[in-house]
C-alpha cells in the first residue's frame, strides 16, 4: 500500500514536470518563431533635429496606415547616431550583422554609412539632397543595386532670389555649413555659381560639429549682409543659437528648410517634409512587398513654398513686401 502511494505520487510529479516543460517549450518556440518570421526594419538617423524627426514620424504613421505596424507584423528598430560618425558606422554594421530585411536611412550622412556596409540588404534613404553627387546612387531614374529613396533637392537660386527681393541691398553673403556634409557642399556650390553670376561675394564659415556653430555664426556677423544656411544637419541642430546671434547682429538668415525658419531662421523657399516622409513610406512598402530598390526611381518633390518667421523679421527690423507675405507660410 505504502509503495503504491509513493509510486503514484512520483508519477503525478513527473506528469506535472512534463506538462510544465511542454508548455514552456511551446511558448518559447512560438515567440521565437514569431519574431523570426516578422520582417525587421532598421531606421538610422544622423541626429535628432525637428526636420528629421518630422520626416520619421510622418513616415512611421504612413507605414502604419499601409498596414505595417511595429510589433504586429513588422519589427522596427530606430537608432539615432546623435550627430556622431562613429555611431553611424556601429549602427549600420549592427543592422547588417543582424540580417535586417530593410534599412531606412534618414539624411545623407546616415545613408552614406549604410550604403558603405551592404550591397544586399534593401536600403531606402530619406531626404538626401544630392543622391548622385553624394555617391548613393548612379542615377535618379534608375538607381540600380540595392538602394533608392527620396530627395529634398533645394534650389540656392530660388532662395537667393527670394533673399534679393526681401533684402535687395545684399552684397556679401555668409555661408554657414559643415563642409563634411555632402548635402550641404552641393547646395553651397550652387550658391557660389549664383553669387558669381549676380555680382555677390560669398564668405564662408564652416563647422565640424554643432558646438562650433555659435562662434562661426558670430564670425559672419561682422563680414556679411546676410547669412545663407543650406539643409545642413549640423547647423540645423543648433538653429536656436544661430537665431540668437542673428537677432543681436540684425542679420537676415536665409535657410534651406521650413523647420529652420520655425527655429528662428528668417526665410526660405522649401519643400514640405511631411509629404517627403510619406513618400519615403510608400517606397518602403513597395520594397516590403517584393520590389527591387534599384528599379524604383528616386522620388523628388517639385512643389516649393515660401516660409517666413514674422517674429524674426520684427527682431531684425525688416519689412517684408506684401506680395511675398501673401504667398508665404508664416511662423
Cell of 108: 545623407
CB count in 10 Å sphere of residue 34: 10
CB under 6 A: which stretch of 56-64, 75-83, 213-221, 226-234 binds ligand TRP?
A: 226-234
Strand partners, 41: 76, 102
Does residue 263 touch ligand TRP according to CB under 6 A?
no
Q: What's the burial of 140, exposed, middle or buried (CB within 10 Å: 0-12/13-18/19+)? A: middle
> In the range 273-312, which residues lie near ligand TRP by CB under 6 A?
273
170 binds ligand TRP (CB under 6 A): no
Q: Kindly state the smallest distance separating residue 307's Cβ from ligand TRP, in Å.
A: 12
Q: Which stretch binds ligand TRP (CB under 6 A): 92-100, 126-134, 168-176, 195-203?
A: 126-134
CB 228, CB 174: distance < 8 Å: yes
Q: Is 185 in the site for ligand TRP (CB under 6 A)?
A: no
For residue 24, the minimal CB distance to ligand TRP (Å) is 48
Which of 248, 243, 181, 241 is closest to 212 using CA atoms? 241
Residue 152 in the binding site for ligand TRP (CB under 6 A): yes
| 231 near ligand TRP, rule: CB under 6 A | yes
259 makes contact with ligand TRP (CB under 6 A): yes
| Residue 147 engages ligand TRP in binding (rule: CB under 6 A) | no
Is position 108 an interface residue for ligand TRP (rule: CB under 6 A)? Answer: yes
Check binding of 233 to ligand TRP (CB under 6 A): yes
- Which three cell numbers mark 75? 519589427
Which of 45, 129, 309, 312 touches ligand TRP by CB under 6 A? Answer: 129
Taking CB under 6 A as the criterion, the residue among 105, 260, 301, 328 binding ligand TRP is: 260
* Contact map string, positions 88 to 107, toward ligand TRP, x by CB under 6 A: -------------------x
Judge residue 32's burial from the number of C-beta atoms within 10 Å of its C-beta, 0-12 exposed, 13-18 middle, 19 or more buried.
exposed
Looking at 13-21, 230-238, 280-288, 303-311, which segment touches ligand TRP (CB under 6 A)? Answer: 230-238
**Would you state the cell numbers that stand for residue 189, as one nine-digit string?**
556650390
CA angle, residues 219, 220, 225, in degrees to nearest 5: 155
- Describe the strand order of the beta sheet including 172-177 as a list of residue ranges: 201-206, 172-177, 226-229, 253-255, 267-270, 305-308, 329-330
Give the residue among 10, 307, 35, 322 at the shortest CA–CA distance from 158: 307
Chain-centre distance of CA 134, in angstroms?
Answer: 15
Asked whether the beta carbons of 185 and 112 are under 8 A apart, the reply is no
Q: Which is nearer to ligand TRP, 81 or 236 (CB)?
A: 236
> Of these, 121, 236, 261, 284, which contacts ligand TRP (CB under 6 A)?
236
Q: Which is nearer to ligand TRP, 117 or 181 (CB)?
A: 181
What CA–CA distance (Å, rounded) separates 147 from 101? 13
Q: Which residues bind ligand TRP (CB under 6 A)?
A: 51-52, 107-108, 127-129, 152, 183, 231-233, 236, 257, 259-260, 273
Amino acid at each position: 500500500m505504502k509503495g503504491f502511494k509513493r509510486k503514484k505520487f512520483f508519477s503525478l510529479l513527473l506528469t506535472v514536470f512534463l506538462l510544465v516543460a511542454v508548455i514552456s517549450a511551446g511558448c518559447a518556440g512560438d515567440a521565437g518563431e514569431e519574431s523570426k518570421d516578422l520582417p525587421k526594419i532598421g531606421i538610422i538617423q544622423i541626429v535628432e533635429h525637428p526636420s528629421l524627426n518630422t520626416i520619421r514620424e510622418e513616415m512611421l504613421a504612413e507605414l502604419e496606415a499601409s498596414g505595417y505596424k511595429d510589433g504586429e507584423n513588422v519589427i522596427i528598430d530606430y537608432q539615432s547616431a546623435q550627430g556622431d560618425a562613429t555611431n553611424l558606422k556601429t549602427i549600420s554594421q549592427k543592422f547588417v550583422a543582424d540580417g535586417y530585411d530593410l534599412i531606412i536611412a534618414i539624411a545623407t550622412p546616415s545613408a552614406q554609412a549604410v550604403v558603405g556596409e551592404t550591397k544586399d540588404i534593401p536600403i531606402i534613404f530619406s531626404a538626401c539632397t544630392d543622391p548622385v553627387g553624394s555617391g548613393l546612387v548612379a542615377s535618379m531614374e534608375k538607381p540600380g543595386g540595392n538602394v533608392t529613396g527620396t530627395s529634398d533637392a533645394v534650389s540656392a537660386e530660388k532662395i537667393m532670389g527670394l533673399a534679393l527681393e526681401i533684402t535687395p541691398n545684399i552684397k556679401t553673403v555668409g555661408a554657414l555649413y559643415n563642409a563634411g556634409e555632402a548635402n550641404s557642399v552641393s547646395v553651397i556650390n550652387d550658391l557660389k555659381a549664383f553669387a558669381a553670376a549676380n555680382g555677390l561675394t560669398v564668405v564662408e564659415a564652416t563647422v565640424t560639429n554643432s558646438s562650433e556653430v555659435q562662434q562661426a555664426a558670430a564670425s559672419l556677423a561682422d563680414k556679411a549682409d546676410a547669412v545663407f544656411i543650406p539643409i545642413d544637419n549640423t547647423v540645423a541642430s543648433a538653429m536656436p543659437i544661430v537665431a540668437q546671434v542673428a537677432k543681436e547682429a540684425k542679420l537676415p538668415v536665409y535657410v534651406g528648410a521650413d523647420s529652420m525658419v520655425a527655429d528662428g531662421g528668417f526665410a526660405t523657399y522649401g519643400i514640405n517634409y511631411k509629404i517627403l516622409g510619406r513618400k519615403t513610406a510608400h517606397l518602403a512598402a513597395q520594397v516590403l512587398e517584393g520590389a527591387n530598390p534599384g528599379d524604383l526611381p528616386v522620388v523628388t518633390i517639385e512643389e516649393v513654398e515660401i516660409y517666413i518667421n514674422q517674429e524674426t523679421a520684427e527682431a531684425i527690423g525688416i519689412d517684408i513686401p506684401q506680395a511675398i507675405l501673401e504667398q508665404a507660410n508664416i511662423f
